[in-house]
Structure 1
């Protein structure tokens, strides 16, 4: 597990410019400690990233629901880590985030997808009878 998290960090920070230079790539935001009770760490990292992306939109879940964005129905549960997000939610959040902040880099997309897949792998499975 530690190796997977290390890979996430490398994907998110690789290619950062030397100190003092601008980067053309957008690195994903993260609300560190926004979801302190979410375990395992991979799920917490995803929730904190979604939390930061969502709050950067400067709107509320109810406003998005009024705008007929049904994919935000469970946004509060997703961005707090209470429930693993759907892929549709992530796709719509990325689209709205990019409209406001510009396109994500390929590395940022890879990082987000890797966190999503790993968080799904962490969901406890019920034993088959």
Structure 2
């Protein structure tokens, strides 16, 4: 299942909502991040193969990662199902340093985020 990501330029806010059981597995129902705290986004389908760090809390199964992972002192939020359409969003001054998300159209979301914060 993918995530719903809304980039609201009027309110200068990005909203991430895991869908379905991902809310339970990730222990997260919604993330609201000011656009001023978003550095940018990239599509990185290879991120699934990278070392994720220590999980907690969350779910870690082959091709499914949901929740908080800590790597080299940074907290990352993962809600990824499968290796494709994976977006990495870099943040500053937030609880998470990066968000790793599966979405319906990664390229379109990356362009939308980078255009909004650019």
TM-score normalised by length of structure 1: 0.29
Q: Which gives a bigger RCO, structure 1 or 2 (Cα 8 Å, sep 6+)?
A: 1
Larger radius of gyration: 1
Q: Which has the higher strand share?
A: 2
TM-score normalised by length of structure 2: 0.31
